[in-house]
A and B are shown apart, each in its own frame.
Chain A
């Protein structure tokens, strides 16, 4: 057993080193990747600035980022197409949705209205970076992560069912589906033991003050 364990950890460590080495080597050869921003890359940026990254595993995949954005009602015109380059119309729509101000757009079906609205409130979307910088974490993030991560089979991602006092499956469900510190047996055992200890009955007070 120990040999297998050591072999696995050694393989993982070697993999990390190799990945780090190959990554460093590739830094010099990245010219071919320099291009416009894809929707997948935009999704990766958005989950950070909108405070959604904490609901995802470390280094989430593009699809995971897109899914949580969809859950929060954020998507370009025509939905997410991970490989497509981000266009100005899409960026404007996504930024307005991420600000949760789509109800303030004059004509929600007109892409130009989103751009006009952003201009009117002084938000620049000349570049993806500028647009993203104007965003803040969502006040009311939709959190299907609570159940999604609780249902995963992946030990790298699986989470607890709820957090203390979260609005979905908060405090005490944790002790059912996650960790219950004391078992039913313990409680019953203590109560049974208690039956053999004579209980001293308190005398009823003679006067209202117990004197």
Chain B
């Protein structure tokens, strides 16, 4: 926590010192937006059966401040959002905070520094059923701090050194004991332009994840690979990333997972009014399914933006995610009781009492080795620009979880909103 506070304090100094000097050059470029939304949510607790629905009002402000100096850019955004739920008896309100800080500085045409901080403070209220607390108060703080140093070795060759520190902290001790983590990432990328339209690169990545849970879910992850960027024509760009990944789990049933990883994304402008982005990724990944330390994740996505007229735009997005789980990724010392209830009911029906607290046998480990999850997410949104200061919007979001590990659910959210530039 001390590290987070120090990072925040340092961030404030970094922000306000340059702004103080830029103020004399022509004032501070402040901007304020306000967005008000009315939303209907048909499954507010993400349940499979007996779902609860509610209307909610979301009031969101956005304060932004940008300083664009000769060789330096500094951008700061603070976005508080207040949510009022019409029918959520345990807690009628949520209050979230989002802060984004971007700092870029060019020391010379060949050498630059980029810093970025993403801070989120969100609320998830406690859930009380039949007089008992089912879910504790899950307020959390998430922060991602990234830094990148770019040097142009030759006119056609660029090298990036990058680092990242992610942290997640829950307020409630019980939740924090299972889910809190610190993740450190370091990376090196060298890109070389073969021809103006094509570049090839080498990627090295190292990540270490430290969880705070009693069961050891910690891991070290290495990626070695190649990256390609191709401009097929001025309206068609593609990125490709492929390589080999190895994850060393500190104290898992099986120590090492390794796999090829791959990722592709394509941006295409079929017409002046239409933008299309699509892609896919496959790699090892962290998971929030306790107590697993890893999942093998496959993800497909597509995004379409189309301007119907100069004032009306339509956006469509979709993601499909598949997570595969392996019993070898369970920590040593894990017991049946530690597994998700859905899994216990399937692999050990009727087992109770002390048997639940015995370390997992090979039979049970094998039994959880073919578990998977499918997640579907779809979003559609239309915006109408009334004038230069007002926008109206309407949207629909659909999500579905089909899991061997957790409770399945389907959820729809529909909203209408108004955005105002003050």
Contact = CB atoms under 8 A, between A and B. Distances in A.
A142 to B, nearest CB: 5
B130 A167 contact: no
B399 A61 contact: no
Which of B110, B138, B221 is most buried by chain A, counting CB atoms within 10 A of its CB? B110
Interface in A50-86: 51, 53-54, 57-61, 63, 66-67, 70-73, 75, 78-83
A137 B66 contact: yes
Interface stretch (A111-119, A168-176, A203-211): A168-176
Contacts of A19: 111, 149, 151, 159, 161
Contacts of B133: 190
Nearest to A56: B116
A168 B397 contact: yes
A120 interface: no
Q: Is the interface of B mostly helix, strand, loop or mixed?
A: strand
A197 B321 CA distance: 40
Given A164-B81, A181-B124, A184-B341, A150 B186 contact: no
A103 B411 CA distance: 38
A153 B263 contact: yes
B108 interface: yes
Given A79-B269, A167-B395, A185-B341, A176 B281 contact: no
Interface in A1-49: 1, 4-5, 8-9, 12, 15-16, 19-20, 22-24, 26-27, 30, 32-34, 48-49
B324 interface: no
B375 A177 contact: yes
Contacts of A156: 146, 162, 164, 185, 187, 205
B164 A136 contact: no
B347 interface: no
A154 B186 contact: no
B376 to A, nearest CB: 10
Given A59-B114, A155-B221, A48 B163 contact: no
Given A49-B73, A151-B281, 20 more contacts: A19-B149, A19-B159, A22-B151, A23-B151, A48-B104, A57-B116, A58-B102, A59-B160, A63-B199, A63-B237, A67-B267, A136-B29, A137-B64, A152-B281, A153-B263, A161-B377, A164-B94, A167-B37, A167-B379, A184-B341
Interface of A: 1, 4-5, 8-9, 12, 15-16, 19-20, 22-24, 26-27, 30, 32-34, 48-49, 51, 53-54, 57-61, 63, 66-67, 70-73, 75, 78-83, 100-103, 132-133, 136-137, 139-140, 142, 144, 146-148, 150-156, 159-161, 163-165, 167-191, 194, 197, 199
